[in-house]
Amino acid sequence: MPLLDDHADDDTEVSTSATTSDGHGDDDERSLLNEGNVDINDGADCNATDVDTEVESIGCGFFHHRMVIILGLGNAADAVEILAMNYILADYGTITSWESSCLTAAVFAGMLVGGLVGGVMADAYGRRPIVLLNLGINAVSALLSALSPSLNWLILFRCLAGIGVGGIVSCLFALCVEHLPTSARARYITILCSFWMVGSIATAAMAWVMLGNVVGTHTRILPWANWRHFAACAGLPALTSFLLTYCYVPESPRFLASQHQYAEAASVLARIAHVNGQREYATPCLTQSDKNHPQRRQDDPYRMQWFVASSRLRKVALCLIVTSFALSFGSYGISTWITKLFVSIGLLNPYANAFLYAGANLPGNLLSYLVVDAWGPSVLLKIALVGAAATALLFSFQLIDTDSTPLRSTASSASSITPTTTQGHHDSSRAVVVLLACVFNAITTAAWNAVR
């Protein structure tokens, strides 16, 4: 999540004009963005602190509830794009290890590019346009993936999807936070983060229905569906979030003020108050006191002075970078291959078990929410990282043991183990593999929540 500059130390004043918003309905809500009678001092040297004061006075309401759901759907769309590759791989057919590795890595290579470029573009052009751009990229790339004529084209389109995912991550949370009063940010960001769980469970459920079997049988639920239908449906959350964001989520008023677009920022604030039911809210005239303040370089998209100037922030940033890398390596690494791993150990319905794996996000989220206030995020993160490492080791050992069980029992012709006993042992080993995978996913989910 991009770092946000705090300007609470600026000595500023906020005054309001007598112009009020008295319209009704969605048409009036949208017209507030372009109203021409806003009393704004265009020559004033205004900054984001003035906007923050107004945001605090407006508080939270229906606008913010709707916004976090819409942006949460965009976060869920990210989860769908990343995790969909796991199910596409399982249904794609026979490909070499090199080809499957390239197909898997394509999304993450695109995420690297999108993450690096998206944050800079969001600082230069605004949070909302970049969120919309990347949601559009995700929706289009999903459709192109479904229509790809060859594996090489599929790899290219999955890389394009990764660019969209990385670009959204860098500005989605900023767009949400900059609409919120300080006291509500933690609560709303927690809700926004939880939509990743919604996306992962929805992806697993969709894969089970479209690609999996009826429980306890080898009969496909939808015999006509294949990975192409699944890939096309995977773009629906991004398309839906794009349309809703375009209609109902305006640009961040804080960003507009940082670009000296004070009239537009005031209109957005009036729109928020209007949607929240504050009909008598006066459209603000954003002004700054006459005291001189050092010029802040808010228009510079390459702001890294904090990283060089503060040793404390540098240590924290480096630790979080390493931690995020380790969590991404472990959680995405297993999530991307989990269905193929379940197939390799002979599970009758790997998609149903992958659904259980995705559902393990729920206890992980609940656990972190229950203990984070008592333990603190640092303690929770340390315990979760140790637990994830231990569970991953147990998972790998059990996976190896399960894979080798049929070979070991066949080679031991003199063994006293009967076929029934061998089958029972193998079934229990599979169950342990699924259980450990679910525990690992729950613990890494708690770790991600602690990081955020």
Between CA 91 and CA 213 the distance in angstroms is: 12
Between CA 112 and CA 448 the distance in angstroms is: 19
> 48: closest CA among 97, 5, 83, 102?
5
Question: Average model confidence (pLDDT) for the chain?
Answer: 79
Q: Which residue has the higher pLDDT, 374 or 192?
A: 192
What per-residue confidence (pLDDT) applies to 299?
A: 46
Phi, psi of 13 (to 5 degrees): -130, 145
pTM: 0.74
pLDDT digits (tens, 9 = 90+) for 202-230: 999 999 999 988 887 888 899 999 999 99
As a whole number, mean pLDDT of residues 378-383 equals 89
Tokens of 273: 């108050």
The answer to whether 5 touches 251, Cβ cutoff 8 Å, is no
- Which of 5-14, 70-79, 162-171, 362-371 has the weakest average pLDDT? 5-14
> Which of 44-53, 223-232, 292-301 holds the top average pLDDT?
223-232
pLDDT grade for 309, boundaries at 50, 70 and 90: low
Domains and CATH numbers, the chain: 1-303 (1.20.1250.20), 305-452 (no CATH)
As a whole number, mean pLDDT of residues 61-82 equals 94
What per-residue confidence (pLDDT) applies to 410?
A: 38
As a whole number, mean pLDDT of residues 13-33 equals 43
SS3 state of residue 386: helix
Q: How far is CA 225 from CA 77, 145, 210, 228, 231, in A?
A: 21, 15, 6, 8, 11
Q: Would you tell me how many other CB atoms lie within 10 Å of the CB of residue 331?
A: 19
**CB-based contacts of 444: which residues, under 8 Å, 6+ apart?**
327, 330, 331, 364, 384, 388
What per-residue confidence (pLDDT) applies to 417?
A: 39
pLDDT grade for 304, boundaries at 50, 70 and 90: low
> 188: closest CA among 175, 171, 170, 201?
175
> Is a pLDDT exceeding 70 seen at residue 285?
no
Q: Would you tell me how many other CB atoms lie within 10 Å of the CB of residue 279?
A: 12
- Which of 90-99, 144-153, 288-297 has the weakest average pLDDT? 288-297
> 107: closest CA among 131, 82, 88?
82
pLDDT grade for 278, boundaries at 50, 70 and 90: confident
| Burial track 23-34 (b if 16+ CB lie within 10 A, e otherwise) | beeeeebeebee
pLDDT digits (tens, 9 = 90+) for 390-439: 999 998 888 877 765 544 433 333 343 344 445 555 678 888 888 999 99
pLDDT digits (tens, 9 = 90+) for 151-210: 999 999 999 999 999 999 879 989 999 999 888 887 888 788 889 889 999 999 999 999
DSSP 8-state symbol, 15: E
What per-residue confidence (pLDDT) applies to 294?
A: 39
As a whole number, mean pLDDT of residues 258-264 equals 85
Between CA 95 and CA 104 the distance in angstroms is: 12
What per-residue confidence (pLDDT) applies to 22?
A: 40
* Beta bridge mates, 274: none
Which residue's structure tokens are 């228009």?
299
> Hey, CA dihedral for 402, 406, 408, 413, is it positive or negative?
positive
Q: Which residue has the higher pLDDT, 47 or 110?
A: 110
> 274: closest CA among 18, 25, 93?
25
pLDDT grade for 321, boundaries at 50, 70 and 90: confident
Amino acid at 187: R
> Hey, CA dihedral for 364, 385, 71, 258, is it positive or negative?
positive
Tokens of 237: 């959350």
* Beta bridge mates, 287: 13
Between CA 161 and CA 136 the distance in angstroms is: 10
> Is a pLDDT exceeding 60 seen at residue 45?
no
Q: How far is CA 209 from CA 70, 206, 225, 351, 451, in A?
A: 25, 5, 9, 9, 33
Percent of the chain scoring above 90 in pLDDT: 33
